[in-house]
Chain A
Amino acid sequence: MTMSVAMTVNGKAVSGNVEARTLLVQFLREHLGMTGTHVGCDTSQCGACVVHVDGVSVKACTMLAVQAEGSKVTTIEGLAASPEKLHPMQEAFRENHGLQCGFCTPGMVMSAIDLVKRHNYAVTEEIVRHGLEGNLCRCTGYHNIVKSILAGAQAMKAAGV
């Protein structure tokens, strides 16, 4: 069943015709050519596909594109104000070596931002580690991801984002 779908992605109105079975992540990657959101598993566990829908983190592999009709979607491509001016959380990952191969990174950063906001910037190592239950990383051993998020939380608070 082909349907039309319209939503806002990173502040821009977008629309397209999709099969009902089209996942949000497929819509982003294949229809919009926004390949920053990744797919790392088929059981909704790795979190490489995490985006924000209406302000909260969701797994774009476990949501139909048509379910996002009318929603505001933010992806990793939509975080930085410019290529030079990264979001504080992106900057924190860079400064703290919170990424290696980069594949889990978009989902990790999107989850991290939601986690920090959900806890009103007051995150601890324990909260961060538990809060990353839905994101897998095989490279970093999480050590520097946790460090990045703790630093990123401070930076987000300071920047008021």
Chain B
Amino acid sequence: MYDFAYHKPKSVADASAAVKKASEGKLMAGGMTLIPTIKQRLARPSDVVDLGGIGDLKGIKVDASGVTIGAMTKHAEVAASADVAKAIPALAKLAANIGDAQVRNRGTIGGSVANNDPAADYPAALVGLGATVHTNERKIAADDFFKGMFETALKDGEIITAVSFPVAKKAAYMKFPNPASRYAMVGVFVADTAGGARVAVTGAGPGVFRVKDMEAALGKGWSADAVAGIKVPAGGLNNDIHASREYRAHLVTVMAKRAVAAAG
């Protein structure tokens, strides 16, 4: 890996300033994607700004309206939170199956969301539950946040501080992992929310997307059979040695069915 300047600011404002000042600055949360990327010399940041020293970004708050998770909260913490498990069990379960145990001990929700890997799990939960991304500058609805592969609505120097999830009537996430990497090859998050049924798919396409036909069908009646006959078009989906577009499209339906059934 190439060398870089390392900063560990104590506040979000300092972090934002540091990354803006750098010629090729990178924010680092858990580093689970950034460090491997730098290691393989696929990225060459001049400066790495480590958010690990900012206490304000950690922690989980649960109240009647929902769950708010600080950006630097680790997957393992979300997975182990009895409060999250009670409020939105599907979210705790999703967190418990991100990557491996060591990834969950370092990786954070903020890092995962900001990175927007097309095969990451959290984006499906955010879109599936209609979450809100809080940054040092504003609040962004999940539907407006994810912009396609590794792209988000975040501006330079804008830092995610927390993600808040409204409680759903019921929800579940079903992942079909890539056999090699274990990232989601297809992951489907379904939720029956105050604003209606939501179906969010990760892994299958260039970024997380909703399946409106399934949502409409579930709106009429929540059952696995309701989505069983609905296929997403294979055209825009990912295609690789592990799964063709057609296979991914098929798996979206299968995983959606299983998620709906699991949600109860």
Contacts and interface: CB of A to CB of B under 8 A. Distances in A.
Query: Per the CB under 8 Å rule, do A and B touch in the complex?
Result: yes
Nearest to A111: B101
A55 B100 CA distance: 17
Interface residues of A, number: 31
Contacts of B52: 67
How would you classify the secondary structure of chain B's contact residues: helix, strand, loop or mixed? Answer: mixed
B101 A115 contact: yes
Interface string A51-67: 00000111101111011
Contacts of A19: 3
Contact of A3 (B6, B36, B76): B6
Contact of A133 (B35, B40, B50, B182): B182
A62 B52 CA distance: 15
B33 to A, nearest CB: 9
A21 B76 CA distance: 26
Contacts of A67: 31, 50, 52
Contacts of A23: 35, 39
A21 B3 contact: yes
A102 B85 CA distance: 39
Interface string B1-41: 11111101000000000000000000000011001101110
A62 B196 CA distance: 40
B102 A57 contact: yes
B101 A131 contact: yes
Contacts of B102: 47, 50, 57-59, 62, 111, 134
Contacts of B65: none
Given A20-B6, A58-B106, A64-B31, A133 B101 contact: yes
A62 B105 contact: no
A58 B105 contact: yes
B53 to A, nearest CB: 9
B48 interface: yes
A20 B31 contact: no
Contacts of A50: 102
A1 interface: yes
Given A47-B100, A134-B99, A63 B35 contact: yes
Contacts of B141: none
A20 B36 contact: no
A44 interface: yes
Interface of A: 1, 3, 19-21, 23, 42-45, 47, 50, 56-59, 61-64, 66-67, 69, 111, 114-115, 118, 131, 133-135
Given A21-B3, A62-B31, A64-B50, 16 more contacts: A20-B4, A21-B38, A23-B35, A42-B36, A43-B40, A45-B181, A47-B100, A57-B105, A59-B103, A61-B39, A62-B106, A63-B35, A67-B50, A67-B52, A115-B101, A134-B103
Give 4 closest A-B pairs by Cβ, nearest first. A134-B100, A20-B6, A133-B100, A56-B105
